[in-house]
Amino acid sequence: AQSVTQLGSHVSVSEGALVLLRCNYSSSVPPYLFWYVQYPNQGLQLLLKYTSAATLVKGINGFEAEFKKSETSFHLTKPSAHMSDAAEYFCAVSDNTGNQFYFGTGTSLTVIP
Amino acid sequence: EAGVAQSPRYKIIEKRQSVAFWCNPISGHATLYWYQQILGQGPKLLIQFQNNGVVDDSQLPKDRFSAERLKGVDSTLKIQPAKLEDSAVYLCASSYGELAGGVLETQYFGPGTRLLVL
């Protein structure tokens, strides 16, 4: 079975500062890992996904994440936060057939001007 | 390309009433998912269809929830009877569903239906 844990339900950063959102996974099989963003009153949008290719994955809007098997982590980063990055971010995991899809509880990102 | 469509966007009902949600996936997408997102939590997969067959419904409360995708395109999720704890946003997502070259196809989400049970 798969699961993800997102550390920190709320993260605040200053505009221009580094964004780091943490995600740790648990999986009995090689996982596929995802980061989604959800803006208020909107559906989820895929930021990036890891599917056993390169361990450093680049996504949209300047975000990237690194798959670290030894740490069972898939943290999301962005070098410089922008006001428009304020949203809810979800880490998710599936097995390598795309089934057993589980989301974390989410991290709310606030960007301070 | 048109996105995933859901209706209604909002629904308010009283407990013990019935409610149905509709989803029209992106054209050509074989896989369709229904999720329940309770306020402050991540989405929880309720049911996954591949064409008109069920792939995974292990987290669907089958005593009150049902879903169908009869023609392998549109899908309907029903709750009968509703309970207070069913208040949530119900998200529909779709994907091609194929592992093309080992790459999992992306899920595309609709805007959701916000349900309030009083």
Say whether pLDDT at A40 is over 90: no
Place of tokens 């301070």: A112
Q: What are A41-74's pLDDT values in tens digits?
A: 788 899 998 887 788 999 999 999 999 999 999 9
A39-73: b or e for each residue (b if 16 or more CB lie within 10 Å)? Answer: eeeebbebbbbbbeeeeebebeeebbbebeeeeeb
d(CA A107, CA A65): 15
Give me the residues paired with residue A13 across strands: A111
Evaluate whether B23 touches B74 at the Cβ level (below 8 Å): yes
Say whether pLDDT at B52 is over 90: no
pLDDT of residue A19: 97
* Contact A50/B at CB under 8 A: no
pLDDT of residue B107: 85
Q: Which residue has the higher pLDDT, B98 or B6?
A: B6
Give me the residues paired with residue A77 across strands: A20, A64
Mean of per-residue pLDDT scores for chain A? 91
| For range B99-106, the mean pLDDT | 58
pLDDT of residue B1: 60
In which band, very low, low, confident or very high, does the pLDDT at B104 lie, cut at 50, 70 and 90?
A: low
pLDDT of residue B56: 87
Q: What are B9-46's pLDDT values in tens digits?
A: 999 999 999 999 999 999 989 899 999 999 888 899 99
Q: Which of A49-58, A103-112, B16-25, B65-74 has the lowest mean pLDDT?
A: A49-58
User: Which chain B residues contact residue A90 at CB under 8 A?
Assistant: 42-43
Say whether pLDDT at A32 is over 60: yes
Within 10 A of A16 (CB to CB), how many other CB atoms are there? 11
d(CA B107, CA A45): 9
Evaluate whether A33 touches A67 at the Cβ level (below 8 Å): yes
Closest to B104 (Cβ–Cβ): which among A43, A44, A98? A98
Q: With a CB-CB cutoff of 8 Å, which residues 41-80 of chain B face chain A? A: 41-45, 48, 55-56
CA closest to B102 among chain A residues: A51
**Is the Cβ pair A98, B99 closer than 8 Å?**
yes
Q: Could you tell me where the beta strands, DSSP code E, fall in A1-113?
A: 3-7, 10-14, 19-26, 32-38, 44-50, 56-58, 64-68, 73-78, 87-94, 102-103, 107-112
DSSP code for B80: S
| For range A83-106, the mean pLDDT | 87
**Is the Cβ pair A44, B93 closer than 8 Å?**
yes
pLDDT of residue A98: 67
**Is the Cβ pair B91, A94 closer than 8 Å?**
no
DSSP code for A24: E
Which amino acid, B108? Y
Say whether pLDDT at B89 is over 90: yes
| For range B43-70, the mean pLDDT | 92
**Is the Cβ pair A43, B91 closer than 8 Å?**
yes
User: Which chain B residues contact residue A45 at CB under 8 A?
Assistant: 109
